[in-house]
Amino acid sequence: MWSRRRLLAAAGAGAAAVAAGCSAEPGSRPVGVDSVAVREAEARRRAAGAPVREVRLRAEPATVDLGGVVVDTWTYGGRLPGTEVRLRRGEVLSARFDNALAAPSTVHWHGVALRADMDGVPGLTQPPVQPGSGFGYEFTVPDAGTYWLHPHVGVQLDRGLYAPLIVEDPADPGYDAEAVVILDDWLDGVDGRDPDAELARLRAAGMHDMSAEPGGGHGGHGGHAGAQTAPLGEHGGDVEYRHYLCNGRLPADPVTFTAAPRQRMRVRLINAAADTAFRVAVAGHRMTVTHSDGFPVFPVSTESLLIGMGERYDVTVDLRAGVFALAAAAEAKAGRAMAVIRTGPGEALDAGVRVRELDTAPLTAGRLQAADAARLAPRAPEVVHEVRLGADATGYVWTINDRAPLDGMVGHDAHAMFEVFAGQRVRLRFVNATTMFHPMHLHGHTGALVTGSGAGPRKDTVLVGAGETVEFDFDATNPGQWMLHCHNAYHGEAGMMSVLSYQA
């Protein structure tokens, strides 16, 4: 995958290669990840005497029981999901990563506004960590919220390599109970499949009529038309999964969260899937959405919500007495993940138990407003970048502004499409010219969805539905070189990746 020569070029020249030849501002140069600007930004975030939390992460092959289905896969520390990392806002995370896989890997801290040289993107922010070697990550975690971690190499995140990263806010109101729920679509080690073979299969098959009329594509089992019931369109994904997991478990043998009746439970939802959005509901309950991608929103009550790959929502649930399914239906696909919330005696739930709330129109981010404390200051954007999401019908190639870097080969100048300067308010206008949805993720920043209210929810991962245009604003306050890509793991590897490049 990486020739040594190419690796050295990428690691050494790194950022310089990124913007070569395509600078919009004559005379400007890319801000390297190993630079004074990056170190100064980190120094501003780090309080004197900030506690340092040490963790160890070891990527290794393991045999895992999903609950009746046993698979050989890749994990952190032999567990699925990996052990949760939890610390407080303002603390320093010091993570020793050891790679015991047979392939290079890295760790990316999804959603955290961290120092650019710790972002875990091979070729852009560090060399890939080779088998048998390691890397020390250390950075301040400036904002509370629900985050997660995963590799940023190939389609490794479609194996078992993911874990929750929870940053507590000392100012949070107490909750009676808390559940961290991490959702996944699963194929690794089932019927001889694995994500790399799946990507090869997609490439051999080529693109399926992505310019066809909505509903005319393949793979959809949505059943309903219309924005209300199918907000993302009817094309649920590119890959067929037999299994959907909640905290590494199949619905037949689910994880159980226990609490008492009348308690208020905080549920932190994370979608770690590669190719699946989920519609989430708690049987017999309404959910109150309190946070989007880690940041507080004005609470909104709903029966179901939609969560795309890479997104997080925190909700609260006022629990009744009994045994209830927390169900996550694969959106526009067949199948679901499930956990159980138990507040008293009662029969175990059947894996197929009906959850009426899943039939309701799910809440999406557009219906949320940032809480006052989390609101992006009102300001007109100084730069607007159009980010056109497309497909190249000549193969399995997904594009951004008609370009598609191959094999996640970041550091190549084909990636550097979006230049910003520190201090700017930047608007990204995502224009989806395809019949599939794309969860677009920006590293190192949490911006705001542009909504009619003028106080859109804070997000780092934005769902752009089939044929939709969605705008997203952020402040360029974290210098470096940052990935901007589709969080469908297969789309990213097939070209839907780019770099937001700070210039000076």
332 binds Cu ion (CB under 5 A): no
| C-alpha–C-alpha distance, residues 156 and 145, integer Å | 24
x/- site string to ligand C2O, residues 90 to 129, per CB under 6 A? Answer: ------------------x-x-------------------
443 binds ligand C2O (CB under 6 A): yes
Nearer to Cu ion, 149 or 387 (CB): 387
- How near is the Cβ of 198 to ligand C2O at its closest, in Å? 19
Site size with ligand C2O, rule: CB under 6 A: 10
Query: Quick one: what does residue 208 bind among ligand C2O, Cu ion, none, with the CB cut-off 5 to 8 Å set by partner type?
Result: none
Nearer to ligand C2O, 463 or 483 (CB): 483
397 binds ligand C2O (CB under 6 A): no
| C-alpha–C-alpha distance, residues 112 and 173, integer Å | 22
- Segment interacting with ligand C2O (CB under 6 A) among 21-29, 196-204, 464-472, 481-489: 481-489
Q: Which residue has the tokens 């050989």?
A: 72
Sign of CA dihedral 98, 101, 102, 105: negative
381, 423 Cβ separation under 8 angstroms: no
- Segment interacting with ligand C2O (CB under 6 A) among 208-216, 328-336, 423-431, 479-487: 479-487
Task: Identify the CA nearest to 402 among candidates 413, 411, 414, 410.
Answer: 414
φ, ψ of residue 66 in degrees (nearest 5): -80, 0
Task: Identify the CA nearest to 439 among candidates 492, 402, 399, 363.
Answer: 492
x/- site string to Cu ion, residues 408 to 447, per CB under 5 A? Answer: ------------------------------x---------
For 200, half-sphere exposure in the C-beta direction (CA atoms, 13 angstrom radius) is: 5
Sign of CA dihedral 467, 299, 476, 12: negative
Q: Which of residues 469-498 bind Cu ion (CB under 5 A)?
A: 486, 488, 491
483 binds ligand C2O (CB under 6 A): yes
Cβ neighbours, 10 Å, residue 5: 8
Q: Would you put residue 359 in left (φ > 0), alpha (ψ -120 to 50) or beta?
A: alpha
461 binds Cu ion (CB under 5 A): no
Residues that bind Cu ion (CB under 5 A): 438, 486, 488, 491
Residues that bind ligand C2O (CB under 6 A): 108, 110, 150, 152, 310, 441, 443, 483, 485, 487
